């Protein structure tokens, strides 16, 4: 019995060393690349009003964690997380099953949007290309009747104000301003010169008459 115990103690360092050797730097980098290749897509279920998030390329040796649940890749390297509520912010760590490697590889963050019930409805017929509440099937916020009607009202008021507003006066450039000053200054100088000339002529006539004692 003593010999068996001694043998086990002697064997433990070898097992630890073997486990460490199983995951060198190259293997760790390889796992990191596999994790970074994971992609996902979302699909909305109108009946349950929830999302299904499907992950691709969850290869052997990798697994996902969400809300304390472990999701291993299937034979097709896919993982599905179902019945996720609208507006949920998901934080999903990607880890490896190889205990000799660094367990945490990366974390995937997903922000699910809210379904827009007004999308492609009769109320949006005239606003499809004008308002986000009518052009987007999913929104980053939860929309309701008040928000929707408020968006329509604000848009209509904006259009009305633009139609009745006087045309905005075009701002003059620096060159146009200088040109205008030059022209105005030149006109004023011309008027002064003309006035001076008109005043000088009678003065000369009067001076001549006085000079010749006429």
Residue 108 and residue 155 in one domain: no
Once rounded to an integer, what is the mean pLDDT over residues 105-115?
97
Residue 107 and residue 6 in one domain: yes
Flag whether 204 is in a domain.
Answer: no
Flag whether 32 is in a domain.
Answer: yes
Flag whether 154 is in a domain.
Answer: yes
Residue 96 and residue 154 in one domain: no
What is the model's pTM? Answer: 0.65
Residue 67 and residue 20 in one domain: yes
pLDDT at 18 > cutoff 70? no
Distance CA 149, CA 138 (A): 17
Residue 142 and residue 60 in one domain: no
Residue 68 and residue 132 in one domain: no
Distance CA 153, CA 147 (A): 10
Residue 33 and residue 106 in one domain: yes
pLDDT at 206 > cutoff 70? no
Residue 100 and residue 151 in one domain: no
CATH number for the domain spanning 12: value is: 2.60.40
Q: Per-residue pLDDT tens for 19-70?
A: 444 788 899 999 999 999 999 999 999 999 999 999 999 998 999 999 999 9
Q: Per-residue pLDDT tens for 157-204?
A: 999 988 775 666 667 676 777 677 767 666 555 555 555 555 555 555
Q: Per-residue pLDDT tens for 129-162?
A: 999 999 999 999 999 999 999 999 999 999 998 8
Closest CA to 118 of 137, 93, 99: 137
Q: Looking at the 3D structure of the chain, how many domains does it have?
A: 2
Full domain range(s) for residue 71: 2-112
Please check whether residue 22 is in contact with residue 45, taking contact to mean a CB–CB distance below 8 angstroms. Answer: no
Q: Last residue of a domain, which of 69, 87, 112?
A: 112
């Amino acid at each position: 019995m003593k010999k068996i115990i001694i043998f086990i103690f002697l064997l433990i360092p070898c097992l630890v060393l073997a486990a460490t050797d199983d995951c060198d730097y190259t293997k760790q980098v390889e796992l990191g690349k596999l994790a970074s290749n994971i992609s996902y897509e979302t699909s909305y279920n109108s009946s349950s009003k929830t999302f299904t998030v499907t992950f691709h390329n969850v290869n052997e040796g990798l697994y996902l964690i969400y809300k304390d649940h472990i999701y291993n890749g299937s034979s097709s390297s896919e993982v599905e997380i179902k019945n996720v509520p609208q507006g949920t912010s998901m934080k999903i760590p990607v880890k490896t099953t190889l205990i000799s490697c660094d367990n945490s590889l990366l974390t995937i963050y997903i922000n699910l949007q809210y379904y827009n019930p007004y999308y492609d409805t009769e109320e949006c017929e005239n606003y499809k290309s004008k308002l986000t509440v009518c052009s987007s099937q999913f929104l980053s916020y939860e929309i309701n009747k008040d928000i929707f009607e408020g968006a329509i009202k604000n848009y209509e008021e904006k259009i009305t104000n633009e139609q009745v507003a006087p045309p905005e006066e075009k701002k003059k450039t620096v060159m146009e301003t200088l040109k205008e000053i030059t022209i105005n200054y030149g006109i004023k100088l011309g008027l002064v010169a003309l006035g001076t000339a008109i005043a000088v002529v009678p003065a000369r006539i009067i001076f001549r008459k006085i000079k010749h004692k006429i």
